[in-house]
Amino acid sequence: MAGYEDLSKAVLKGDDDQVKSLTKSLIDSGNDLLEIINQGLIAGMDIVGARFKKGEMFVPEVLMAARAMSEGINLVKPLMAETDIPTIGKVLVGTVKGDLHDIGKNLLAMMMEGAGFTVVNLGVDISPEQFVEAAKEQKADMIAMSALLTTTMVSMRDTIELFKEEGIRDKVRIIIGGAPISQEYADEIGADGFAPDAATACDLAKGLLA
């Protein structure tokens, strides 16, 4: 009989079909739905995150694993009541205004989902006003901004300033990343943290929302 470890391994391999069939078989055998998510699907993505951080896995493999995990989650979620779905917190992920680079941002969104966050992927070219509006509407715990251009990273500062002007800066944690971003820049603009890659961002976010 299939077990949680088989499911984790299928996620690690990025094998959509195997993830779907193992998830179905675990559901049909009456396994606890939360255990399927935590001990099978998310456990697989945890290994992916650790290997990616060590340079043992690369972006395309991570994206495949994250997609396979999502296929499994999509089978389990409809069977659970909304309140039964565990979440570390709600994170809004977006690439800043004027910036259309979305590969790293999508990787971040998928890995955060795999790490147990509720993720809303806002997309690219997100203005400070859109970040603030979405944070209010969605009652977000965290904003994760991505920028790939030196010309657009300034929008991160504008976004943080707008959160302050709106009087809601203390309601959300704000983390930033992307190729031109550094810890120094995060400190300078008053972000709560910087991560050089998506796996580190998951650890950073867990620490901030714990």
How many whole angstroms separate alpha carbon 101 and alpha carbon 148? Answer: 7
- Give me 208's structure tokens: 């901030």
**Rule CB under 6 A: is residue 119 a binding residue for ligand B1M?**
no
How many whole angstroms separate alpha carbon 160 and alpha carbon 103? Answer: 23
Closer CB to ligand B1M, residue 33 or residue 111? 111
Q: Residues 151-190 vs ligand B1M: string with x where CB under 6 A?
A: x-----------------------xxxxxx----------
Closer CB to ligand B1M, residue 46 or residue 102? 102
**Rule CB under 6 A: is residue 94 a binding residue for ligand B1M?**
no
How many whole angstroms separate alpha carbon 64 and alpha carbon 70? Answer: 10
How many whole angstroms separate alpha carbon 117 and alpha carbon 200? Answer: 14
| Member of 108, 115, 135, 172 binding ligand B1M (CB under 6 A) | 108
Q: Residues 43-62 vs ligand B1M: string with x where CB under 6 A?
A: ----------------x---
How many whole angstroms separate alpha carbon 43 and alpha carbon 23? Answer: 13
Burial environment of residue 188 by CB neighbours within 10 A (0 to 12, 13 to 18, 19 or more) = exposed
**Rule CB under 6 A: is residue 103 a binding residue for ligand B1M?**
yes
Residues in contact with ligand B1M by CB under 6 A are: 59, 98-105, 107-108, 144, 146, 148-151, 175-180, 195, 197-198, 201
